[in-house]
Chain A
Amino acid sequence: MDTHFLILAICVLAVLGAATVAGQLLKRRAGPGDLTIQNLTARINAWWVMAGVIALAFIAGQVGVVILFALCSFAALREFLTLTNTRAADHWALVAAVFVVLPVQYVLVGIGWYGLYSIFIPVYAFLLMPILSALRGQTDNFLIRVSEAQWALMIAVFCVSHVPALLSLQIPGYEGRGLFLIFFLIVVVQFSDVMQYVWGKMLGRRKIAPRLSPSKTLEGLVGGVLSASLLGAALFWITPFTPVQAFGISLVITLMGFFGGLVMSAIKRDRGVKDWGHLIAGHGGFIDRLDSVIFSAPIFFHIVRFYWSAV
Chain B
Amino acid sequence: MSSLASICAILIVGFARAITAVRGIWAGAPPTPVQRIYYANHASHGDFVLIWTVLPRAMRARTRPVAGSDYWLTSKLKGFIGREVFNAVLIDRNPATRQGDPVTDMSEALTGGDSLILFPEGTRNTGDEVLLPFKSGLYHLAAANPEIDMVPVWIANLNRVMPKGALVPIPLICTVTFGAPIRLIPDQGKADFLARAQAALRDLSPDGGA
Q: Which residues of A contact B (CB under 8 A)?
A: 74-75, 77-79, 81-82, 86, 88, 91, 94-95, 98-99, 277-279
Instruction: Looking at the assembled complex, report how far the CB atom of B104 sits from the nearest CB atom of chain A, in whole angstroms.
Output: 38
A-B contact pairs, 29 of them (CB 8 A): A74-B171, A78-B21, A78-B171, A78-B172, A78-B173, A79-B173, A81-B170, A81-B171, A81-B172, A82-B172, A82-B173, A86-B160, A88-B160, A88-B163, A88-B164, A88-B166, A91-B163, A91-B170, A94-B170, A95-B168, A95-B170, A98-B170, A99-B168, A277-B21, A277-B173, A278-B21, A278-B23, A278-B173, A279-B21
Instruction: Looking at the assembled complex, report how far the CB atom of A267 sits from the nearest CB atom of chain B, in whole angstroms.
Output: 15
A77 CA to B164 CA, complexed, in Å: 22
A79 CA to B166 CA, complexed, in Å: 21
Tally of A-B residue pairs with Cβ under 8 A? Answer: 34
A278 CA to B21 CA, complexed, in Å: 9
Is residue B125 within 8 Å, beta carbon to beta carbon, of the partner chain? no
A78 CA to B173 CA, complexed, in Å: 6
A91 CA to B159 CA, complexed, in Å: 11
A81 CA to B164 CA, complexed, in Å: 19
Say which size band chain B's interface belongs to. Answer: 10 to 19
The reply to whether B172 and A91 form a contact with Cβ atoms under 8 Å apart is no
A95 to chain B: which residues have CB within 8 Å? 168, 170
When C-beta atoms are compared, the residue in chain B nearest to A94 turns out to be B170
The reply to whether B163 and A82 form a contact with Cβ atoms under 8 Å apart is no
A75 CA to B23 CA, complexed, in Å: 14
A81 CA to B170 CA, complexed, in Å: 9
When C-beta atoms are compared, the residue in chain B nearest to A277 turns out to be B173
B145 to chain A: which residues have CB within 8 Å? none
A78 CA to B171 CA, complexed, in Å: 5
Is residue B157 within 8 Å, beta carbon to beta carbon, of the partner chain? yes
B21 to chain A: which residues have CB within 8 Å? 75, 78, 277-279
B160 to chain A: which residues have CB within 8 Å? 86, 88
Instruction: Looking at the assembled complex, report how far the CB atom of A207 sits from the nearest CB atom of chain B, in whole angstroms.
Output: 30
4 closest cross-chain pairs (CB), A and B: A88-B163, A78-B171, A94-B170, A82-B173
A94 to chain B: which residues have CB within 8 Å? 170
B163 to chain A: which residues have CB within 8 Å? 88, 91
Instruction: Looking at the assembled complex, report how far the CB atom of B2 sits from the nearest CB atom of chain A, in whole angstroms.
Output: 32
A94 CA to B157 CA, complexed, in Å: 15
Instruction: Looking at the assembled complex, report how far the CB atom of A275 sits from the nearest CB atom of chain B, in whole angstroms.
Output: 11
A291 CA to B190 CA, complexed, in Å: 52
Known: A79-B173, A98-B171, A277-B21; 12 extra A-B contacts, CB below 8 A, are A75-B21, A78-B21, A78-B171, A78-B172, A78-B173, A82-B172, A88-B163, A91-B163, A94-B170, A95-B168, A98-B170, A278-B21
A79 to chain B: which residues have CB within 8 Å? 173
B170 to chain A: which residues have CB within 8 Å? 81, 91, 94-95, 98
Instruction: Looking at the assembled complex, report how far the CB atom of B26 sits from the nearest CB atom of chain A, in whole angstroms.
Output: 14
A74 to chain B: which residues have CB within 8 Å? 171
When C-beta atoms are compared, the residue in chain B nearest to A88 turns out to be B163
A277 CA to B164 CA, complexed, in Å: 26
A95 CA to B162 CA, complexed, in Å: 11
A278 CA to B17 CA, complexed, in Å: 13
Interface string of B161-181 (1 = CB under 8 A from A): 001101010111100000000
When C-beta atoms are compared, the residue in chain B nearest to A276 turns out to be B173
Instruction: Looking at the assembled complex, report how far the CB atom of B185 sits from the nearest CB atom of chain A, in whole angstroms.
Output: 36
The winner among B21, B23, B170 for most chain A CB atoms within 10 A is B170
Supposing A277-B21, A279-B21 touch, asked if A82 and B157 sit within 8 A by C-beta, the answer is: yes
When C-beta atoms are compared, the residue in chain A nearest to B162 turns out to be A91
A279 CA to B18 CA, complexed, in Å: 12
B157 to chain A: which residues have CB within 8 Å? 82
A91 CA to B162 CA, complexed, in Å: 9
A230 CA to B191 CA, complexed, in Å: 70
